[in-house]
Amino acid sequence: QQQVKQSPQSLIVQKGGISIINCAYENTAFDYFPWYQQFPGKGPALLIAIRPDVSEKKEGRFTISFNKSAKQFSLHIMDSQPGDSATYFCAANTGFQKLVFGTGTRLLVSP
């Protein structure tokens, strides 16, 4: 049973476009929601994260939107670049930095 549901499974976006990845969760005890970026052959690396008492967090071209009442959060990548092509995972902290992950979204940004 996936505690964090992520969609879409894959995404193709043109260079300069907006990439949007969505996640939903059920457990209201989750207290931290990071997004990880993973390139082939590498480990996941933290991209951006948000606390549940904040509705939006922006870092450069990356924005997390958080809807606590709907138990949903999403990652927006503005002005997507070919270098953004990677797999993205949403996650939630269950305590002690034990993370539950979504199933991942493979993003391809076409030139």
Pick one of 13, 21, 25, 44: the residue that binds another protein (CB under 8 A).
44
Between 53 and 111, name the residue whose CB sits nearer to another protein: 53
Q: Residue 1: in which H helix or E strand, if any?
A: none
- Cα 86 from Cα 37, distance rounded (Å): 7
Question: How does 23-34 read in b/e, with b if 16+ C-beta sit within 10 Å?
Answer: bbbeeeebeebb
Q: Is 41 in the site for another protein (CB under 8 A)?
A: yes
Q: Is 64 in the site for another protein (CB under 8 A)?
A: no
Q: What is the DSSP string of 62-76?
A: EEEEEETTTTEEEEE
Q: What's the min distance (Å) between Cβ of 2 and another protein?
A: 8
Residue ranges in 7-26 that form contacts with another protein under rule CB under 8 A: none
Binding residues (CB under 8 A) for another protein: these are: 2, 4, 6, 31-32, 34, 36, 41-46, 49, 51, 89, 91, 93, 95-104
